[in-house]
Amino acid sequence: MQGPAVFIDAAIDDQAQELRKFFKELGAEISEEKSTKGIEDDLHKIIGVCDVCFKENTHSPEEVDAVLNSIVSIIVSIPLERGENLILSFCDKMTKAKEPTLARVCLQSLWRLFSNLNVTSPLRYHVYYHLVQVAKQVNQVKEVFTGVEQLKSQFAQCPPSNEQMQKLYRLLHEVLKDTNSELASKVMIELLGTYTAENASYAREDAMKCIVTALADPNTFLLDPLLSLKPVRFLEGELIHDLLSVFVSEKLPSYLEFYKNHKEFVNSQGLNHEQNIKKMRLLSFMQLAESNSEMTFQQLQDELQIKEEEVEPFIIEVLKTKLVRARMDQLARKVHISSTMHRTFGRPQWQQLRDLLLSWKSNLTLVQENINTVAAAQVELAQRQ
């Protein structure tokens, strides 16, 4: 997004009167005369009618941008304790523009307001929330949100309340789920992390959305961490939790059996059965690769329930994900596994990693001892000469 604008170099009272006159000429119900109650009342009335300039063919986007810029310059000059209602009202008006070009102008105006509020102002949260809403309208969410860490840094000096962050995470998930399912999953996991053991039972709907988003995301394969989230634990015994457990540690036949018994439930969650099968085949292959350094094409046909001519394209698809490092031997009709990402990473995997590191340490120690022996021998030889 563009940085803060250079605001109009004119007295605030003069700007307010010009704005009143401008909106009056557009047919808004507002007087041209300045309010006797002061600039805040002027601004209250100006903001109340500012959406009149969003009507089609009234003014160019550049002219509308200049008008909104003037309003923002007045808003940021008003003390924080007296500006809350004005800012909330302005933000709400910025969501009213229906025409995409004007909506982008509103997005820019909100960003100016956000950038020019003091970083310690709690009102920045409200402006940012509306920023996301408008960004969704014009498909520019990536301009205002790139990740959870970036979001947290925006509010580092004035963190919103837990309830406010939950509301914002829900909005972000909603606007991201159809365009960036991977980021939407991360947002939802962050949302669930805001719940404690005491209130986790109230997060049922959020927990279900989190699971569905993760299952539907074609790029999310490590699902085991979801099981440790407190709100997800409260779903134990329910079908959605059973389905998650299948994706976490079971193979394709288990999913097919689940779908056979609960077809309506899977479909009601908005999950695509064919996409689920594709993902379960990849997960099943990963699990097979954990314990098999070599697999035949026939074995893959049987385990993954695919046709002979589908084996090679499937292996190529697996390699594209970079979840597994392998080499395909078409002549011998085998696949040789070098390494694979584990579907679950619990105590056994940590133990395996520990053993591997200890083995490396032992080997390096042996190499060092051999080098020292050779070096000592060379020194002794040189001394004899």
Specify the amino acid at residue 375: A
Half-sphere exposure of 192 (CA within 13 A, CB side): 27
Which are the contacts of 361, defined by CB distance < 8 A and separation ≥ 6? none
Distances (CA, A) of 19 to 23, 43, 99, 112, 322: 6, 9, 22, 18, 58
Average pLDDT over residues 248-256: 95
Tell me what pLDDT residue 115 has.
Answer: 92
- The structure tokens 């840094």 sit at 153
Which are the contacts of 145, defined by CB distance < 8 A and separation ≥ 6? 132, 135, 151, 172, 176
- Answer whether residue 40 is part of any domain: no
Q: Is the pLDDT of residue 6 over 50?
A: no
Q: What angle do CA 78, 81, 85 make, to 5 degrees?
A: 80
Tell me what pLDDT residue 1 has.
Answer: 57
Specify the amino acid at residue 319: L
Q: What percent of the chain has pLDDT over 90?
A: 56
- Answer whether residue 358 is part of any domain: no
Helix (H) or strand (E) run with residue 209 in it: helix 204-216
- Answer whether residue 16 is part of any domain: yes
Q: What percent of the chain has pLDDT over 70?
A: 93
Mutual orientation of helices 12-25 and 39-49 as an angle, nearest 10°? 30
The structural domain count of the chain equals: 1
- The structure tokens 């007087």 sit at 31
Which are the contacts of 333, defined by CB distance < 8 A and separation ≥ 6? 296, 297, 298
The residue segments making up the domain with residue 9 are 1-30
Does the pTM of the predicted model rise above 0.85? Answer: no
Spatial separation of the C-alpha atoms in residues 287 and 96, rounded to whole Å:
51
Q: DSSP for 138-159? A: TT-HHHH-S-HHHHHHHTTTSP
Average pLDDT over residues 37-57: 88
Spatial separation of the C-alpha atoms in residues 86 and 80, rounded to whole Å:
10
Q: Pairing relation of β-strands 334-340 and 294-296?
A: antiparallel
pLDDT in tens, 347-384: 655 566 566 677 777 788 888 888 888 877 787 777 77
- Answer whether residue 239 is part of any domain: no
- Answer whether residue 282 is part of any domain: no
Which are the contacts of 229, defined by CB distance < 8 A and separation ≥ 6? 189, 192, 193, 207, 210
End-to-end CA distance of the chain: 74
Q: Pairing relation of β-strands 324-329 and 294-296?
A: unpaired
Cα dihedral 57/62/67/73 (nearest 10): 160
Tell how far CA 363 is from the center of its chain: 42
Tell me what pLDDT residue 350 has.
Answer: 55
- Answer whether residue 328 is part of any domain: no
Specify the amino acid at residue 16: A
- Token readout for 271 is 């999950």
> What is the 8-class DSSP label of residue 52?
G
pLDDT in tens, 139-149: 999 999 999 99
Distances (CA, A) of 222 to 216, 288, 304: 13, 15, 19
Buried-state track 326-337, b at ≥16 Cβ within 10 A, e below 16: bebeeeeebbeb
322: left (phi over 0), alpha (psi -120 to 50) or beta: left
Buried-state track 200-220, b at ≥16 Cβ within 10 A, e below 16: beebeebbbbbbbbbbbbeeb
- Answer whether residue 12 is part of any domain: yes
- Answer whether residue 353 is part of any domain: no
pLDDT in tens, 129-180: 999 999 999 999 999 999 999 999 999 999 999 999 999 999 999 999 888 8
